[in-house]
Structure 1
Amino acid sequence: MNEPEWTDFRFFLEVARTGKVSSAGERPGVEHSTVSRRINRLEQSLGSVLFDRRRNGFYLTDAGKALVPHAERMENALLGALEEHMSQSTVVYGTVRVGTPEAFGIHVLAPSIVELNAQQPDLHVELMAQPQFPSLVTREVQNATYPSGLGFHPRRCHKVSPITARIGPTTTVYGTNSTKQHAKR
């Protein structure tokens, strides 16, 4: 068995996230044929079929699904090392998309983003209100906020802010049988 290369795992994750070899090559800037060769090489070196190749895309096999968390840990270790190395530099730039429930984005994240923008003017944060929870796997967003206790297992988890909300009836009555409910902080 040949030892797999990190770049093969990188392409594996891109195909797992996008479901298409052509899309997986766009971000790293390579042709779909290169991605396909890397996937074939990884499967050969592991002795396992990772994708079910269909006309409408690539679908993870059980072996591929089992490999995803390991490959993501490798990716996180590499990104963590790069982040640690780059933390010596104080300039941050680029664009980051953050998907979040609307109220949390407005009341918790937006004020922090204003402060962050004052410190890092070359960093552009796109705050995206999401009616549903955005997918990190398909890269709809690079960062997402979720209420705790929903069973999500994000790559990295940080408590941002405690939020409590209560819903209960008020004394305001509309018609004969209905009560108005509102959230209290």
Structure 2
Amino acid sequence: MNIKRRLKGKSIIPWLFLTFLTLLAYNLFPRDRGIAGLLLEGKVHQVIDGDTIMVILADGREEKVRFIGVNTPEISGQVQPYGLEAKAYTKKRLDGRRIYLELDTAERDKYGRLLAYVWLERPQNKSLPEIRAKMFNAELLLEGYAQVMTVPPNVKYAEIFKQLEKEARNARKGLWGL
């Protein structure tokens, strides 16, 4: 009865509004949810350039995905050397293919693109041999279509990527042979 007397004449609307604002704020900041390591399944339906693709996720959402840790030569504006080759390689390897996207600490870049490591097959242990064989970001580096681009806080494979780029440089593969 004491509770009823205290609530009598007082509206619960401010409390409901405060609860709504709290839930809204939580959903506006997805980076704070511990997304590192999350694996999303999808299908590539468009290749934008050598390091950016459009993917339809398993839940039906469409996402523009930017590959983490690598940078291919640009093709928008003034085309950079090996930019068209990098796009063609990405298109040949990924267009229409089922892939797995591994997220790191930051979910999106300043342009709203989903940031991901792209796996050609579902990873089992993420060992160095598996990264070399199944991760497309690593493949771009090994074949000389990309160079390392580390943007903290997404640095999970940064040291491995540096090693792979060095191998491609030493072998003068792709853009390193120009």
TM class, shorter-length: under 0.3
Question: Normalising to structure 2: TM-score of the pair?
Answer: 0.27
Say which structure, 1 or 2, has more relative contact order (CA 8 Å, 6+ apart): 2
Question: Normalising to structure 1: TM-score of the pair?
Answer: 0.27
